[in-house]
Structure 1
Amino acid sequence: MASIDDESSFEDPAEALRLIEREQANLERELTPDPRLMYWPWGLAWLIGSGLLFLRYGPDGRVFVDMPGWLPLLIMSSLMIIAGITTGIVGSRSSRQVSGPSSRQGAMYGFAWSVGFTSFSVVFARLTRAIPDELMGILWGGGMVALVGALYMAGAAIWTDRDMFVLGAWISGVNVVGVLLGPGWHSLLVAIAGGGGLLIAGLVGWWRLR
């Protein structure tokens, strides 16, 4: 029986190091959630939902597209709830591949997304009748966007992910500026700077992960 020289594969330290780096990269790809699934649902929700809000409730009360006032709010809130649940599921599934504290952190973080947006939706639904129509977008959009920014920064603190923290800070800043500018402008900023930024972040993250 021919003998196999186990040391022949490791005669070149540089090759051994490259092998270790490749395996580490493969493991990271397996354990890291797909950035497209983490960011694109939100990007699409904001681009579509806030875009419709801008067309219905534009700056200074201008109506660019005449549609029922409840329609853009219903679409935006539905898309945000779907995005929140999707993010929670993706985060939870990724955490199942590891054990220990990291697994628990991922599961709790994913659960926080789902519970947070469900809770916000219930609270905002109760306040809808007391809020003027022109401020509905600020209530729903501003509140939900604020929650997303905070959750991204919290996730960045858990996994020491600088890119995620920067994204969360960017989203929070865009939201604050939009709320200060008022109805119409908030929807436009969230749709373009928020939704567009998330779509780009998902694409860049996926490319880096590859």
Structure 2
Amino acid sequence: MTEDQPPLDPAESLRIIQRERAATVRRIMPDPRLLLWPWGVAWLLGFTVFFLRYGPDDRVYVAMPRWLPSVVLLALMFAAGLISGIVGARASRQVTGLTARQGTMYGLTWAFAFSGMITVLSRLGDQLPDGLANLIWAGSLTGLTGALHMAGGAVWNDRSMFFLGAFLSVVNAVGVILGPGWHALVVAVLGGGGMLVAGLVSWLRMPR
């Protein structure tokens, strides 16, 4: 601003500050749709395939090989993890210091937690009937996902992430109580659908 230009009035100054703040937030915060929608789609499609093959009371709605639901779900979750990992890595380049370290440690927490859980479940799964084994696998991993979301919400002071984790935990508990078959349907519709809705709501709440 030159000396010949009149000073900005307080309202205009506030608008400029808000606009610059919103632009900064958009640069350093990843699009929540790219973080949550891939997982929502993976859960919606993957657990639906599980329900169609391993329905309640061992009912088979769609004939398919026993191994196919696991392969479909794992492939979808791998793709979702790859997408969200790339998006998160790009966003982390914009920040340094404590925030960057928090992001790195939180990402490693997910990797180690899931690796440990999968190792434990692999030792137990082969000793159980298909229905119960699927329930333990899906229930444990879904519960872990909910807990990690709640932990992330606490770390980042993000209420949306915390409440999403709490919602997923409740959905998982309801599904486990209903039993094999029903758990897959509940997690597919409410869990996957909840992630899709959460991604949209978080995106709409971002500063414009």
If the length of structure 2 is used for normalisation, what is the TM-score?
A: 0.90
- Answering whether residue 128 of structure 2 is matched by residue 131 of structure 1, we say yes
Q: Is the 8 Å Cα contact of residues 160 and 202 (structure 2) preserved in structure 1?
A: no
Greater relative CO (CA pairs within 8 A, separation 6+): 2
Structure-1 separation of matches of 2:201 and 2:28: 18
Match of 1:65 in 2: 62
Match of 1:117 in 2: 114
Structure-2 separation of matches of 1:148 and 1:85: 16
> Sequence identity, in percent?
55
CA shift at 1:78, angstroms? 3.0
Which of residues 148, 153, 158 is equivalent to 2:155? 158
CA shift at 1:56, angstroms? 0.8
Which of residues 151, 173, 177 is equivalent to 2:174? 177
Going from structure 1 to structure 2, the CA distance change for 1:16 and 1:65 (only over 3 Å counts) comes to same
Give deviations 1:132-175, integer Å, cap 9, x for gaps: 11123212211211111111111111111111111110000000
**How many residues of Structure 1 are paired with residues of Structure 2 in the alignment?**
207
Structure-1 separation of matches of 2:180 and 2:82: 27
Match of 1:105 in 2: 102
Structure-2 separation of matches of 1:170 and 1:90: 24
Match of 1:188 in 2: 185
| Unpaired runs of at least 5, structure 1 | none
Match of 1:26 in 2: 23
Structure-2 separation of matches of 1:117 and 1:78: 15
Q: Is the 8 Å Cα contact of residues 175 and 184 (structure 2) preserved in structure 1?
A: yes
Structure-2 separation of matches of 1:6 and 1:204: 45
CA shift at 1:7, angstroms? 5.8
Q: What is the SS of the residue equivalent to 1:130?
A: coil
Structure-1 separation of matches of 2:4 and 2:119: 63
- Answering whether residue 7 of structure 2 is matched by residue 4 of structure 1, we say no
Structure-1 separation of matches of 2:19 and 2:127: 57
| Unpaired runs of at least 5, structure 2 | none
Match of 1:143 in 2: 140
Q: What is the SS of the residue equivalent to 2:205?
A: helix
Structure-2 separation of matches of 1:47 and 1:176: 17
Structure-2 separation of matches of 1:42 and 1:150: 16
CA shift at 1:44, angstroms? 1.2
Please tell me the residue identity of whatever aligns with 2:3. D
Going from structure 1 to structure 2, the CA distance change for 1:93 and 1:120 (only over 3 Å counts) comes to farther
CA shift at 1:30, angstroms? 1.0
If the length of structure 1 is used for normalisation, what is the TM-score?
A: 0.89
